[in-house]
Structure formats: structure tokens, C-alpha cells
Amino acid sequence: MRDVYVIGAGQTPFGAFPGRSYRDLFAEAFSAARDSVDGDVPTGDIDEAVVGTLGVGGRQLGLPGPAVTEHVGLHNVPCTRIENACAAGGYAVRQAVQAIRSGMADVVLAGGFDVMTDMSGDVTKYWLGVSGETEWERLTGTTFSGVYAQMASAYLEAYDATPEDFGRVAVKNHANGAKNPKAHLGFECSLEDAVSAPEVAEPLNLYHCCPTSDGAAAALLVSEDVVDAYTDERIRVAGVGAASERVGLAQRDSYTAISASQVAAKAAYEAAGVTPADLDFAEVHDCFAIAELVAYEDLGFCEPGEAARLLREGYTDPDGELPVNTSGGLKSKGHPIGATGIGQVAEAFDQLTGDAGERQLEAPRYGLTHNVGGSGGASVVHVFEREEVGA
């Protein structure tokens, strides 16, 4: 199979931009991705496009993909829309990798967007709940905060963790996001702030929940056959893994782990020939604080029940053994559904190419991105490797 390289990735700032259109945001992300490539990527070189979006707001439920790719001039380029809730972006990247590996394309644009802040709170909550299992789970009156809160209740019961540990996720990710000019909530918070915030769904409070954001992100992926034409960087897609899980939490074997993430991670590690110990950083799906704890365990950073200890010991701080969510994560950087998974790739690309500014880690080689849809109904994991040029 042909190797696939990321030659560029970028994003709009994530935030509240009710005056901007989804096309306009997508165009900015596309330009940011193209500008991040060493050389030029003429529009005509792009063979294929994959666009991830949930379609929040219902503004373009049908054909949202062509609506944005035609807008940026990818005229007559085949475009497929990917919908896998909050994992739409990550799955769009995976789809781009598949297109290149299959030989059908050499240069693929993977993009994603959603606009979430130009609606009333009630309309927003409707959309936040649409990826929960509708007939049974949603009809107990939950949106995702409620479902993740149920996971949190089971986690607190099963393991030696406290709501203060959820607060530690917020403190860490806000500290990281404060250094990210693209972050939606780019300010620091104290543990006191994070544990005393208003309750959203017991045991989760406001600081245990990511914001709803507007934004777009894009990545350009190419085959090994053409990578030389665009860049001297070698950011290789070393491993990809993805899996589904039953959509309703109650149907699952565990409420304290997401099996789709476990399976996806295992596949991505095997493909990349690495173990979690080889990773230099990870961008994980922290839509709720409990999700980051569960991610540490699903991704093999620690044993089940050990995630709180990692946080307390600073293992995942920027100066720790395995920095997690240097971008600020969904919590601080923001979560414009379809853009999120590709925004993670943009952070990985910046870290691996040394363009992460104040957040830059020291010469990382392996980085992981982890993107989850719904409460775990879909998960996708990528491992990226910075290859030494000439190696």
C-alpha cells in the first residue's frame, strides 16, 4: 500500500462567529491548509475532497460537501460528505487516506466545518442531542452532557477518581489553550474555578464541558508518489484505526470505556508499529472531562482506573511524559463538530513541523489524534510520524 503524507493542515480560529457563513469559514481553513504547505498546491492538482460535517442548524443538510468545495473553486472535483457526528472530521481524514492508498487519488483535501453559535440555546440543544440514540436514550431527556454524565457517575463509582479530577482536565487544557491564538476559550482557569462552576448534568459542571463553536479545518494529504512535488517535510500517516460501537450507552458492555476507541487505537498502533510509550504527544477527544480520562485508558496510556493519577502527576502536562491536548483540546480550543477531528490533525501537523509557536514541544516524532462521535458510537485514531528527510 502506498504511504500517505500530510503536506499541510490548517484551521480557522474556533469561536463564536455568528456573522460568518460556513462557506466563508471553510474557505479560510482551505487557504490556511494550503498556506501551510512548503510549496504551491494548485487547485487543479486536487483529485478528490472529503468533507465532514454534522450539518448543525440544518443549513445545508443535503450536499454540504459540494456546497463548500465548489465555493473554494474545486470545480467538478468529486466530493463526499462524511457524517459520523463529532468524529466526522477524523473520518474524513481516514477517507482521504483510503482514497490515496487505493490509487484512485494522489492529492486529497479533507475538510470539516460546523456553525453552532447563530442559534438559540434550545435549537442548539436539539442539535447537540441528535447523535444520541433517539428512540430510547434521548427520550429519557438527555443530550450529550447527560450521557457523558452517566458515564462519569459509573466511572466515579468504579474507580478512585473524584470530580476534582474532572476539574484538572479543564485546568490543563485551558492552560494549553491560552497559548493557542486559534482557541475559542483561550484563557486559563484555576482548579477552584473548575470545581465550583454551575452544574450542567450531575456530576458534570460547566467547566467539565467543551463549548459549542464555529469553525472549519482542512488538511491536504498526498501519496508518496507526489509528495516531493509539494514539500520537503515528511509527515507520514503512520497508522489509522477506526471502529463503531452501539449508539446507545445502555446497550454497551461498559460505561467506563469506549470500545470503539480501544479497537481503533490498537489498529493504529499496530499499523504504525508503535506503542503508546513511543508517542510524543496526543490530541484526544475531550468533549467532556470524563471523556479525556476514559481516552487515556482506551488509548493505552494507562490501565483502566489510572487516568486520574496521570492527571494528578502531570504526566499529560506539556512538560510531562506524554503531553495531551497541547492545542487546548475541545475544552479550550473549541468544538465545531465537523471541524474538530481535522483541527486535531492541524495541531499534530504544527507540532511535527515545529510550527506550534508557544506550544511547541521539543522535536516530537510521533503524535496521535483521537476523534470520537457521539458518546462513543464512532471513533477514529491516527498516528502521525515525522520522518527524517533522507532517512
Q: Which of 19, 42, 62, 120 binds another protein (CB under 8 A)?
A: 120
Q: How far is the CB of 147 from another protein (least distance, A)?
A: 8
Q: Which of 11, 36, 69, 142 binds another protein (CB under 8 A)?
A: 142
Query: Within positions 7 to 36, which residues make up the interface with another protein, using CB under 8 A?
Result: none
Q: Which of 28, 118, 137, 233 binds another protein (CB under 8 A)?
A: 137
Number of amino acids touching another protein (CB under 8 A): 44
Between residues 28 and 292, which has the closer beta carbon with respect to another protein?
292
335 is catalytic: yes
CB-facing half-sphere around the CA of 181: CA atoms within 13 A: 6
Q: How far is the CB of 129 from another protein (least distance, A)?
A: 4
Q: Which of 123, 175, 271, 361 binds another protein (CB under 8 A)?
A: 123
Residue 28, classed as helix, strand or coil, is helix
Residue 59 in the binding site for another protein (CB under 8 A): no
Q: Which of 115, 204, 272, 308 binds another protein (CB under 8 A)?
A: 204
Q: What is the pairing mode between strands 366-373 and 378-386? A: antiparallel
Between residues 7 and 290, which has the closer beta carbon with respect to another protein?
290
| Nearest CA-CA partner of 250 in 158, 162, 146, 159 | 146
Assigned C-alpha cell, 118: 447563530
86 is catalytic: yes
Which residues sit opposite 386 in a β-bridge? 235
Q: Please answer whether residues 378 and 87 qualify as being in contact, where contact means their C-beta atoms are separated by less than 8 angstroms.
A: yes
Q: Which of 89, 90, 129, 373 binds another protein (CB under 8 A)?
A: 129
Secondary structure element (H or E) that encloses residue 130, with its range: none
Give the relative orientation of helices 289-298 and 144-158 as an angle to the nearest 10 degrees. Answer: 60
* Identified catalytic residue from 184, 208, 285, 335: 335
Give the relative orientation of helices 259-272 and 289-298 as an angle to the nearest 10 degrees. Answer: 50
**Per-residue string for binding with another protein, 163-202, x by CB under 8 A?**
------------------------------------xxxx
Q: Which of 19, 62, 121, 181 binds another protein (CB under 8 A)?
A: 121
Residue 249 in the binding site for another protein (CB under 8 A): yes
Residue 212 in the binding site for another protein (CB under 8 A): no
Assigned C-alpha cell, 16: 463564536
The pair phi, psi for residue 321, each rounded to 5°, is -60, -40
Which residue has 508503535 as its cell numbers? 274
Q: How far apart are CA 389 and CA 72, in angstroms?
A: 32
Residue 97, classed as helix, strand or coil, is helix
Residue 377: C-alpha distances to residues 25, 36, 192, 372 (Å): 27, 33, 33, 8
Residue 140 in the binding site for another protein (CB under 8 A): yes
Between residues 155 and 281, which has the closer beta carbon with respect to another protein?
155
| Active-site annotation, residues | 86, 335
List of residues contacting another protein (CB under 8 A) = 119-126, 128-130, 133-143, 145-146, 149-154, 157, 199-204, 246, 248-251, 253, 255
